[in-house]
Structure 1
Amino acid sequence: MSVSNRVPVISVQCDWDEVLRKKSGEAWVSCKFRGETGLHGKLFSRGQTDEGTPDVRGSDDFVVGKVTSSTLEVTYRPTGHKCVFISPRTVYTGIHKKSVVSLAVTPNGLSVSACTENKLQVWDANDGMLRRSLSSHVGDVYKCRFFPSGVVVLSAGADMLIKIWSAETGQCPVTLSGHTGAVMDVCIVNRGRNIISVSKDGTAKLWDCGQSACLGTLIKVDSTINCCSLGVANNKLDLGEPDEAPSEREIGTEDKVLVIGCEDGGVHVVAVRSRKTLFSFMLSSAINCVVVVSDNEFLVGCHSGEVLLYAFRENCNTPIVSWFESNSAALCLLPYKARGFFVGKADGSCIYYRIPNSGDGDHLDTRLHLTGPDCDPVYDLASDGTAVYTACRDATIRKYEVQNVILDVFKS
């Protein structure tokens, strides 16, 4: 296993971007290695530079680098570790009144989000205007996603149902039932004629949306399945053959693999067409999130706070890389551009990591943090292809312009 360099979590006051705009503004900053006492300092604003950006200096061993209207670079001098903080470009506070638990955004700016008040809202990310509310679930909605068309919504929740909606009319022509426990997560196969769901009942099921029918159970385990992610298999995996000829209603599953993460720490990789479990392994912590990042690799986020990168190959139970910088639970993962991903955590932090290439040591001591939440968990992440959005317990959705910052920091 290749463990990432021992890197601290550098944190800053959540409203730094507002405080440091003021002359004589002051914000706290800290540096903490996991398992050790944190080191604290202050950031002081001395007004504006000639370019109109805050002129900020740090106390103790905190050195302030480049500052813009939305970014703040801080280096902890004794170790050379650097963090670039990014404040939200837009903050949406009127869409929900309770914790936002799931979120999806299309490239055209149409958004859907769900909260613990059992509200499923379709809204416009360009102006924050509510388009319509989707009301039919009985109980909390745990997951909402867009189909590739960008005008059809998939939702699932505590009522053990999966629903398909028109985002344009708000109608729900399809309801899928068959789970005996809450539906925790969903995946869409190709263009969406088939979908996959996972549940507290320990099953992953494949569905035919057109006929509202279950095409089969992909796996049954003795634990709640918390999360799933679908990917395309590489040539290192023998996907096997199905025991029975698949239904003609099963479309596009022949090269697909499903990764599931369980409450008991189990991770299972399943060939969708053959229903064969290709490999499994157990971790010591509940699995809160998984995501396929390529046909060669997938990420696992643990309740312990650890994030692990694994390879798609048979009998693979040793991670390629482990990031374990805090004990705060990893709640959601979002691949972003080539060789990078965001992880949202229970302490309100949202951090961007680079996946190192073989022999690549560049930027392993650099992190990007999306700021704004004041210790409120970040439950979900989404992207419209450029900007990144976060769903938070404080009932707020935040939009961050990150693409140019990442290009500038990592020069790739």
Structure 2
Amino acid sequence: MSGDNRTQSPAPVISLQCDWDEAVRRANAEAWVACKFRGQPSIQGKIRSHGLSREGIPQVTATNGFTVCEISQNAIQVKHESGHICIFVAAFSIFTGIHSRSVISLAATSGGLCVSVCTGNKLQIWDTRQGLLRRTLEGHVGDVYKCRFFPSGLVVLSGSADMQLKIWSAETGQCPVTLRGHTAAVTDMCIVEKGRNIISVSKDGTAKLWSCGEASCLATLVELGTVINSCVLGVANKKMQLAAPEEPTSEHEVGTANKILLLGCEDGTVHCLAVQIRQVLFSKLHPAAVNCVAILSVDHFVVGCQDGQIFLYGFERPTEPVYCWYESNSAVLCLLPLRNGFFTGKADGSCVYHQLPARNSGESRSNVRVQLTGPDCDPVYDISFDGTYIYTSCRDAVVRKYDVLKTLSNLDSLV
């Protein structure tokens, strides 16, 4: 990819009725479709169903400059006459019995478990195959904002408005470790390697490094004068040439030597910290609050903002965006790196896969996009990948499960 500061050329956003997969299975039914260029009126069309084929596949036609190129049980490929294509993927499993209120965080494992939490402060572990509740984790006295699995898939980490982090056994539901030290709500956390250490960030403006075995805070990595909304841990690019720490590290600090920490903040700043030496390597100011950050590789990271902008950066020149997606003003709430791109969940209910710009060209592969459907304008708060399937958590209290790997594998052939 080019290191030049580039932004996306004007490209339309194609939208489709959220329950399109149900509508097209009914004869003589319709689903609306729309194409909108930023700053221009929306172009409206219809996808009309003519019943099912012998194989059970919907037979459809489209109007007003739209064409349905392909359709299956859970996916439909729609092309606008401008040449842009969107592949809409519907959930093949919908879990409605786990929570009764907005699901704000979730994490799934390859072992068939998911942990999720809702605004009713129900922290639940459940089976992703049948949607059966395994156990409820009780102990936080404030709303839980974030939940994650340790790499083993058998231990859960949670952070809460009660200023505490808790470590739980997914098998028994017991909480052997509670970490205290923040003076405001814990907003995010990440796990260092296998999990002997973790890092948390808070509305108190600090990032802290913890020893799980000792149940103690090893260090306050940074103190900022703003709320820290998100954090992500990565491996330093070799070109960063991190210095050695001035003082010996604790024997309980493991695996931090080559780690960097990205922090996304309410004042619009992103900070990159060398964890072991407690040093800020660079900072970047954005025009709106940074809600989420994600490291895509040792070379690139992405930033999602409250005003809807998504910035792609290279670590080699981290203060100059390589690319910017700005499709709407809807807040970016979560990011999930996957293959040659990333998913983003937004406040308008959209959940879109963005491909990275073509290598060495700086040009966007934006004429083809993939969008997960289901939420009806309800915010998508979190996204998780278990190695096979995508899961989303939403304000409508539903967790949705998607099969998209084959679709993503075929993207390059459509560009």
Match runs of 1:54-73 below 5 Å: 54-73=58-77
Which residue of 1 is the match for residue 343 of structure 2?
Answer: 342
Read off the aligned partner of 1:211 and give its amino acid letter. Answer: E
Distance in 1 separating the partners of 2:54 and 2:65: 26
User: Equivalent residue of 2:407, what SS?
Assistant: helix
Distance in 2 separating the partners of 1:224 and 1:395: 27
Q: Does 1:17 align with 2:21?
A: yes
Q: 1:330 aligns with which of 320, 332, 337?
A: 332
User: Equivalent residue of 1:236, what SS?
Assistant: helix
CA contact (8 A) 1:208 1:250 kept: yes
Q: 2:366 aligns with which of 351, 364, 367?
A: 364
Q: Does 1:374 align with 2:365?
A: no
Which residue of 2 is the match for residue 266 of structure 1?
Answer: 269
Query: TM-score, structure 2 length as denominator?
Result: 0.96
Q: Does 1:249 align with 2:252?
A: yes
Could you list the runs of 5+ residues in structure 1 that have no partner in the other structure? none
Where do 4+ consecutive residues of structure 1 move more than 3 Å?
Answer: 360-363
Distance in 1 separating the partners of 2:389 and 2:264: 27
Which residue of 2 is the match for residue 203 of structure 1?
Answer: 206
Distance in 2 separating the partners of 1:280 and 1:268: 4
Distance in 1 separating the partners of 2:99 and 2:413: 37
Distance in 2 separating the partners of 1:158 and 1:369: 32
Could you list the runs of 5+ residues in structure 2 that have no partner in the other structure? none
Q: 1:125 aligns with which of 120, 123, 128?
A: 128
Q: 2:229 aligns with which of 215, 226, 231?
A: 226
Distance in 1 separating the partners of 2:295 and 2:411: 25
- Which deviates more from structure 2 when the two are superposed, residues 63-72 or residues 239-248? 239-248
CA contact (8 A) 2:290 2:304 kept: yes
Which residue of 2 is the match for residue 279 of structure 1?
Answer: 282
Q: Does 1:392 align with 2:394?
A: yes
Shift of 1:242: 2.3
Distance in 1 separating the partners of 2:218 and 2:411: 47
RMSD: 1.3
* Identical-residue share of aligned pairs (%): 54
Shift of 1:38: 1.3
Distance in 2 separating the partners of 1:144 and 1:156: 7
Shift of 1:361: 5.1
- Which deviates more from structure 2 when the two are superposed, residues 372-381 or residues 302-311? 302-311
Which residue of 2 is the match for residue 43 of structure 1?
Answer: 47
CA contact (8 A) 1:156 1:185 kept: yes
Distance in 2 separating the partners of 1:147 and 1:411: 36
Read off the aligned partner of 1:288 and give its amino acid letter. Answer: N
CA contact (8 A) 1:343 1:350 kept: yes
Match runs of 1:277-316 below 5 Å: 277-313=280-316, 316=318
User: Equivalent residue of 2:238, what SS?
Assistant: coil
Distance in 1 separating the partners of 2:45 and 2:119: 37
CA contact (8 A) 1:10 1:30 kept: yes
Over 3 Å counting, the alpha-carbon distance change for 1:189 and 1:351 in structure 2 is same
CA contact (8 A) 2:8 2:364 kept: no
CA contact (8 A) 1:239 1:276 kept: no
Read off the aligned partner of 1:377 and give its amino acid letter. Answer: P
Q: Deviations over 1:131-180 (max 9, x none)?
A: 00001011110000000110000000100000000000000000000000
Distance in 2 separating the partners of 1:273 and 1:184: 22
Read off the aligned partner of 1:155 and give its amino acid letter. Answer: S
Shift of 1:40: 1.1
Over 3 Å counting, the alpha-carbon distance change for 1:360 and 1:311 in structure 2 is closer
User: Equivalent residue of 2:240, what SS?
Assistant: coil
Shift of 1:199: 0.3
CA contact (8 A) 2:356 2:365 kept: no
Q: How many residues align?
A: 409
Which residue of 2 is the match for residue 138 of structure 1?
Answer: 141
